[in-house]
Structure 1
Amino acid sequence: MAKLYLVRHAETAWNQEGRVQGHTDTPLSEKGQLQAVALGQRLSRVQFHRAFSSDLSRCVQTAQAILAQRPVPLAPAPELREMSYGEWEAQSWRDVQARHPEQMARIYQRDPKFAPGGGESIMDLMERTRRFLAGQDFTPSDENILVVAHGGSLRGLIFNLVGLPVSHFWRIRLANASLSIVETVEGGALLSLLNDVSHLDGLVKGIDPAAG
C-alpha cells in the first residue's frame, strides 16, 4: 500500500497572532523553523519516493526542512493552497468574529457552500483538493509520499480519500507541524494517524487557528 504522509506547515507569525492567512503568503517564524527541523528528524528514516507541497512559502519551507539533502524533487502544487478567505485575510480571527458574526456562524454551523467575500467555500476547497488527487497516481504501491499543506487543504485531502462527510469538516484538529498518515488500499483508503505532534515534545507547540 502507498503511504501518504500529510504534514501541516510549521508555525508562522500570523498563526501565533491569530490572523487569517488563507492564500496570503507568509514565511515560517523562528519557532516554526525549529518545528520543521524537528519534524524532519522525526521522518529522517522514511524513504520518500515523491513529495508535494502547497506553493506558499510556509509549506515549501516546511517541506524543504523535511527533505533536507534527500534527492527527492519537491513539486509545488497550487491546488494544495489553504482555503481562500478573501477580504478576511490579514485580519485577526477576533476582529472577523466581531465584524461578521453571522457569516462566521455559517462557517461553523457547517454551511459548506458559504464563502467570505472574494473567497472560497468548503465545497470549493473540496473540489480543488479532489482535482489534485485525480491528477496523481496514488494507487496501492510501496511508495511513501510526502504532502505538505494547510489545515483546510489537508482536511480536504483526508475527507476525499477516506470518504468522510463534509458536514464533519471542522471536527478534525490539525496543529502546526502535525503529521497524519493515510494508507491507500484496494477500494479506498485508511486514516492510520491523525494530528501527531509528539516530535514537538521538546518545543513549545503552536496554537491551532483554523486558517493556515
Structure 2
Amino acid sequence: MELELVCIRHGRTQWNRDKRYLGHTDIGILEESQLELLSVKEALKERVFQKVFCSDLKRCRETLDLIYPTSADQVAFDKRLREMDFGDWEGQTYDQLKHSDMYREWLDNPQTVTPPGGESWGCFQQRLVDFMDSLVCIMKEEDNDNPMRSILLVTHGGVIRQLATMTIPDLMFWDFTVDPGSLLSLKLTMYEGQWVGRLK
C-alpha cells in the first residue's frame, strides 16, 4: 500500500509574523497570505486527491479555501490535525519566556516537559498516530485498481514536522523547517504495519 501525503502549512498569521507561539488559538491568516499562497495554488491546480483533510482551525480552513476550493462535504475537518496546545505560553514570544526554567527545559527536551496548562508531547504524538492509523482503513476502502493514492492535508508546522519524523527513518523534529504557506510531499509505504516515508 502506497500513499502520497501532500502537506500544506497554513498561510501566515499575525502571530507567525510576531513569532508568538500559536497552537489552538483560533485566528485567521493575513491578507498578504493570499499572494504568498499563489504558488501552492498553482502547484495543486491539476491535482486530484482521493481525500482532503484539514485542521478545524480558522487559519487552515482559510488556507484550504484559497489553494484548493472544494465543497465542504468533500473535506474532513479533523481536530487531530491541530497544532500542539501551548497552554499558558500561547501568544508569548521567546523573549518573553526565555527566563523561565521550565521553558528552557522544554526547548531542550520537549518530550519530557509539558507547557503549563498545555498539551504533553505524548498526547500530541498519539493523536497523530491515531490519524495515520485511520488512513489505513480509508485507503483499504479506496479503489484497489489505483495503486498510488494521494491525500491533501492542510495543517500546521509542528504537525507536518511530526508526521515526517514519525515516518522517515533517522529524521529528527528539528531537522527541517516548514514555513507558513509551504508544501511538503511525503511518499509513504505500508511496511510491517507501519508507514515508512521519504520526502518526494
> TM-score band (shorter)?
0.7 to 0.9
Separation of aligned partners in 1, 2:117 and 2:70: 39
Separation of aligned partners in 2, 1:136 and 1:108: 31
CA gap of 1:160–1:148, structure 2 versus 1, over 3 A, is same
Q: Which amino acid aligns with 2:125?
A: M
2:176 aligned residue:
172
Unaligned runs of 5+ in 1: 194-212
Q: Does 1:150 align with 2:156?
A: yes
Q: Does 1:30 align with 2:34?
A: no
TM-score (norm 2): 0.84
Alpha-carbon distance, 1:81 to partner:
0.4
Q: Does 1:17 align with 2:18?
A: yes
- What per-residue deviation string (whole Å, max 9, x for no partner) do you get for residues 140-172 of structure 1? 93221101111111122222233556xx32232
Pick from 173, 193, 198: which aligns with 1:191? 198
Separation of aligned partners in 2, 1:120 and 1:149: 17
1:203 aligned residue:
none
CA gap of 1:74–1:35, structure 2 versus 1, over 3 A, is farther
1:63 aligned residue:
64
CA gap of 1:48–1:71, structure 2 versus 1, over 3 A, is farther
Q: Which amino acid aligns with 2:126?
A: E
Separation of aligned partners in 2, 1:92 and 1:71: 35
Pick from 150, 160, 165: which aligns with 2:166? 160
Q: CA RMSD in A?
A: 2.2
Pick from 182, 186, 189: which aligns with 1:182? 186
- Match of 1:136, SS state, is helix
Separation of aligned partners in 2, 1:36 and 1:191: 24
Separation of aligned partners in 2, 1:144 and 1:18: 32
Alpha-carbon distance, 1:44 to partner:
0.9
Separation of aligned partners in 2, 1:171 and 1:47: 30
Number of aligned residue pairs: 189
Say whether the 8 Å CA contact 1:108–1:170 is kept in structure 2. no
Task: Pick which of 130-139 and 177-186 moved more.
Answer: 130-139
2:134 aligned residue:
135
Alpha-carbon distance, 1:49 to partner:
1.7
Q: Does 1:122 align with 2:126?
A: no
Task: Pick which of 75-84 and 57-66 moved more.
Answer: 57-66
- Match of 2:67, SS state, is helix
Separation of aligned partners in 2, 1:27 and 1:71: 18
Separation of aligned partners in 2, 1:70 and 1:37: 20
Q: How much identity, in percent, do the aligned residues show? A: 28
Unaligned runs of 5+ in 2: 141-145
- Match of 2:6, SS state, is strand
- Match of 1:143, SS state, is strand
Runs ≥4 residues deviating over 4 A: 69-72
Task: Pick which of 152-161 and 80-89 moved more.
Answer: 152-161
Alpha-carbon distance, 1:123 to partner:
2.4
1:95 aligned residue:
96
